[in-house]
Amino acid sequence: MLGFIGVFGSLALLIYLTVRGVNILIAAPIAALIAAVCSEISLFPQLAQEGNPDLLTSYMNGFTGFIGSWWLIFLAGAIFGKVMEDSGAADSVSKWIVEKIGVKYAALSVVIACAVLTYGGVSLFIVAFSVFPMALSLFKQADIPRRFIPATLALGSVTFTMTSAGSPEIQNWIPISYLNTTPYAGWEVSLVVSIVMATFGFWWLKRMMSKAMEKGERFVAKEFDKINEVNDRQLPHPLLSMTPLLVVLLFSFIFHNSIGTSALIIALIGGILTTYLVSYKYMQNRQKAISEGGLGAVIAIANTAAIVGFGGIVKETPAFLAAVDFMTNIPGSPLVGGALAIAVLAGLTGSSSGGQAIALPLIAPHYLDMGVDPEALHRVVAISSGSLDTLPHSGYVVTTIHSIAQESYKDAYPAFGALTVIIPILGSVLAIILFSIF
């Protein structure tokens, strides 16, 4: 009992510390310490009996293991996002979409702009930074409450695009290493699920915004909003700006069968070079873009690795092992247990990629030995990883709500959580049903 209290108590503490603004690099080890103490795990290897886990080794194995496996992809993705941002290509694509759809469909414009950039391989954080100024301007013109901007950005970025078949985002590529699949695994089901998630998610977003406006809520600008500066810069043509996104998708498709997850590195490098070719003269500071991309990659992977380290401790606790055993032996479709295991780990770590990296080595061999279709498992794992990963302690949540939109959790998170937690859960359920029928 104390072990279960330690696991979920440490998660609650991690969420609390994150919401209070404590850096995740500090909050995660503190939470890991609580989980280890409550589960009677030794703090140092010198104090552990032979063959037993210890806090220091388990935490650092998780931390460094994740960095060792995914650093180059994080680096290439961050630099690609930065050069797209510096060249104005990301702004050009999002602005073009916004202009074509118009103020009348302000929220839809923002969702589509985020979806196009995300599916094109641009980092989720760069997408949020790039589209936010357009969203701010549109929401002001449409007089929609400002607090719904983070939820709108998230709907287009981390729900139906991030984990769909063919997506170059890392959440769709991690399962390949463990299941020997492709990024297009289960694409037929993925297409249906993505359409349902997008449609229902947008309907729900519109409903929440309409209810708020019926109660008298309107757009209220903050003193630091720079709405009039959105259109000041000369941007490359939107069709040229889309070329790097298409290159990323094309290269990942061409090379994924021959070199697996390494294809994403080649695809992102191709996207970077293409951005330079088509938007070179629009770049404001080429060298700085690469440097900032590298620094951004360090911060992004360190934050994720810190959470993976926390998960590395959690997975050593008897409570977690009992929970995994329970979930993987749930009667009925094995996909249910897989989805639950991934979702819970993603929730514990606050990271969809971190949750996959911890859970898949444990559950993939078990399910493959049972004869579970690896393509179905890949798609269910990907979709379910995008559910509980956006609890309040998630790095993406903190960045989007606090750093970019500068809204409070009280105002912005209810809609944000509804769309990024509940919608993917429903998508996971639908995917399991479809895979079970067909």
Which pair of structure tokens corresponds to residue 87? 């060249």
Give dist(CA 234, CA 172) in Å, integer: 34
Q: pLDDT digits over 371-422, tens only?
A: 999 999 999 999 999 999 898 877 788 778 877 788 888 899 999 999 999 9
Give dist(CA 45, CA 50) in Å, integer: 9
User: Closest Cα partner for 378 from 122, 136, 99, 179?
Assistant: 179
pLDDT at 227: 56
pLDDT at 320: 77
pLDDT at 210: 95
Asked whether 145 and 214 are in contact (CB, 8 A), the reply is no
Asked whether 64 and 290 are in contact (CB, 8 A), the reply is no
Asked whether 162 and 77 are in contact (CB, 8 A), the reply is no
pLDDT at 226: 60
pLDDT at 348: 75
Tell me, yes or no, if the pTM score tops 0.85. Answer: no
pLDDT at 224: 67
DSSP E strands in 331-420: the ranges are none
pLDDT at 101: 81
pLDDT at 183: 93
SS3 220: coil
pLDDT at 214: 95
54 has which bridge partners?
42
Residue 408: how many other CB atoms lie within 10 Å: 11
pLDDT at 12: 87
DSSP E strands in 107-180: the ranges are none
pLDDT at 166: 92
pLDDT at 302: 86
Flag residues of the chain having pLDDT under 50: 228, 230
Give dist(CA 415, CA 290) in Å, integer: 34
Asked whether 82 and 270 are in contact (CB, 8 A), the reply is no
